[in-house]
Chains A and B, each alone.
Chain A
C-alpha cells in the first residue's frame, strides 16, 4: 500500500515533516513559513550539559516545539502516541497507514542505514514520514534526503526504539482536524513576537546575550582549558551552526526566507528589508565558521587569534540585538 505523498527535500527534518504533512492534508505552507511561525530562530548556551564532550550550543528550540507551536498558532490538533511495546507501536503505525494517513515518526539516527557512517550518532530527535508499506518494507520520506527510501520493519523498529537522551519510544504523530480557514497573519505575528522575545530575553545564556556570553568564554578558554579543548568546543559550535538541517548560518537563512515570505502575506515591506539584514547576519555567522575552522585546523597557539574570533562573535551579538529590536518595532 502506498499513499500518494509528496516528498519535498528540506533543510531541517522537523520543519520538513511538518510542512510535508500539512501539504498532504491540504494546507500549503513552506518550510521557512513553518519555521517562522514556530519562532524557530534561537540561541542558547548550556555549559553544564555536555554533548560529545563539549558544552551544548543550540540555534533552535527543543525538538518537538516546532510542530506544537505551529499547531497552536494555525489552529489544528496533533495526535501523538508513545509506546512501551514494540508490537503495539507497529500495529498503530500499520493501522494509520491503512487509513491512508501518512504519519510522522521520531527516530534515532544511529541505526538509520541510509545515512553515511560519519553522520551516525546517538541523536534521537530526528523526524521522518512513513507513507506506505510494501511487503515488509516501510516507505520512508526523510525530509533531509533527496529522494524517498525504505526501511524494513526490523530496521524501523530499531530506530523507533533507540535509547538514550530524547529516546523516541516509538513516538508517532499526525495532524487531525485541520481548520477550513487559517489566519496566517495572526500566526506570523505570534511567531515573530516570540522570536524577538526569546532573542532579547534578559537571560545571560539565551539570545543575543547568550552569543555575547560565549564570546566572553572563548577569550578565556585557551588559558583555562587549553587550546585543544577550546578547539573542540569551537568545532562543536560550528557543527551545531552549520550541520545538515540548519539551512546554513545557524538557521538564520531560513529565518530570512521566512521574513521575505511574511512580508508579502503581511503586506509589510519593512519585513523584506529586515530579511536582507538577517541575510547579512547569516553571512557573518558563516564568516565566523570559516575563521573558527582555520583555528582548529592549524591549532594556532596565539591567544590573539581567539580574541579575534571572539570579536566577530561579539559583533554578531550586537547585530542580532539591533535586528530583533527593529523586528519588534516592525510588527507593532
Chain B
C-alpha cells in the first residue's frame, strides 16, 4: 500500500478523533507508519456485525414477551455477552447459565443467584426482574 492510497474514510474511530496506524510505502519505496481515519470496506463489515447483534437483541426481547426467555437473556445480549462470557462474570457453569435464560427457571431463582446476575450486569435487582423492554 502506498502512503497516498491509505484510505481516509469516515468511521466510528474518526468520529472519536482517533486515527489508526497502518504501514505503507512512500514514493521512494520506504516503509513507515501512516495514519488512517477509516476504510469503508471494513466499516461495512463492522456495521453488519453490529446489525446482527441488534437483531439478536430484538429476537431476545420477542422471546421474553412470549414468556420463553428470562430477562437475563435481554441483558446478556444488551451487553454483547454470550453464555461463555456471562458464565465467567457470574461464576456459574455454562449449563447453569443456559438454564437461567429460560423464563420458567428464572422464576424459581433465589435472591442470591439473582444478585449475582444483577452485579454482573451492573443493574439493580428491580431492573433485572422488570427490564424496560
Chain A residues with a Cβ under 8 A of chain B:
9-11, 32, 52-53, 110, 116-122, 144-146, 163-165, 167, 231-232, 235-236, 238-239, 242-244, 247-249, 253-254, 256-257, 260-261, 275-276, 279, 282-283, 286, 289-290, 292-293, 296-297
- Alpha-carbon distance between A121 and B12 when the two chains are bound, in angstroms: 14
In this assembly, does B31 line the interface, its C-beta being within 8 Å of a C-beta of chain A?
yes
Option from A231, A253, A289 in Cβ contact (under 8 Å) with B48: A231
Q: Which residues of B contact A296 (CB under 8 A)?
A: 44-45, 48
Whether B23 and A257, one on each chain, are in contact in the complex, defined by CB atoms closer than 8 angstroms, is yes
Whole-angstrom distance between the Cβ of A65 and the nearest chain B Cβ: 20
Q: From known contacts A117-B12, A231-B48, A253-B1, infer whether A275 and B31 are also in contact, taking CB-CB under 8 Å.
A: yes
CB nearest to B34 among chain A residues = A248
Whether B31 and A256, one on each chain, are in contact in the complex, defined by CB atoms closer than 8 angstroms, is yes
Q: Which residues of A contact B16 (CB under 8 A)?
A: 116
Whether A239 and B45, one on each chain, are in contact in the complex, defined by CB atoms closer than 8 angstroms, is yes
In this assembly, does B46 line the interface, its C-beta being within 8 Å of a C-beta of chain A?
yes
Q: From known contacts A122-B81, A260-B30, infer whether A244 and B20 are also in contact, taking CB-CB under 8 Å.
A: yes
Whether B48 and A282, one on each chain, are in contact in the complex, defined by CB atoms closer than 8 angstroms, is no
- Alpha-carbon distance between A279 and B50 when the two chains are bound, in angstroms: 31
Whether B23 and A32, one on each chain, are in contact in the complex, defined by CB atoms closer than 8 angstroms, is yes
Whether B12 and A248, one on each chain, are in contact in the complex, defined by CB atoms closer than 8 angstroms, is no
Q: Which residues of B contact A283 (CB under 8 A)?
A: 1
- Alpha-carbon distance between A282 and B2 when the two chains are bound, in angstroms: 11
Per-position 1/0 for B76-101, Cβ under 8 A of A:
00011110110011000000000000
- Alpha-carbon distance between A94 and B48 when the two chains are bound, in angstroms: 42
Q: How many A-B residue pairs have CB under 8 A?
A: 120
CB nearest to B17 among chain A residues = A146
- Alpha-carbon distance between A261 and B13 when the two chains are bound, in angstroms: 30
Q: Which residues of B contact A289 (CB under 8 A)?
A: 41-42
**Secondary structure of the B contact surface, majority rule:** mixed
Q: Which residues of B contact A297 (CB under 8 A)?
A: 44
- Alpha-carbon distance between A64 and B86 when the two chains are bound, in angstroms: 24
Whether A165 and B1, one on each chain, are in contact in the complex, defined by CB atoms closer than 8 angstroms, is no
CB nearest to A9 among chain B residues = B21
Whole-angstrom distance between the Cβ of B41 and the nearest chain A Cβ: 4
CB nearest to B21 among chain A residues = A11
- Alpha-carbon distance between A236 and B53 when the two chains are bound, in angstroms: 13
Q: From known contacts A117-B12, A118-B12, infer whether A256 and B52 are also in contact, taking CB-CB under 8 Å.
A: no
Whole-angstrom distance between the Cβ of B29 and the nearest chain A Cβ: 7
CB nearest to A276 among chain B residues = B29
Q: Which residues of A contact B62 (CB under 8 A)?
A: none
Whether B44 and A165, one on each chain, are in contact in the complex, defined by CB atoms closer than 8 angstroms, is no
Option from A121, A164, A167, A247 in Cβ contact (under 8 Å) with B23: A247
- Alpha-carbon distance between A8 and B95 when the two chains are bound, in angstroms: 44
Contacts A53-B52, A238-B42, A248-B1 known; 19 new A-B pairs at CB < 8 A: A10-B33, A11-B20, A52-B52, A116-B12, A118-B12, A122-B80, A144-B21, A146-B18, A165-B84, A232-B48, A232-B49, A235-B49, A253-B22, A260-B30, A286-B1, A289-B41, A290-B41, A293-B41, A296-B45
Option from A254, A279, A293 in Cβ contact (under 8 Å) with B25: A279
Whole-angstrom distance between the Cβ of B10 and the nearest chain A Cβ: 12
In this assembly, does B40 line the interface, its C-beta being within 8 Å of a C-beta of chain A?
yes
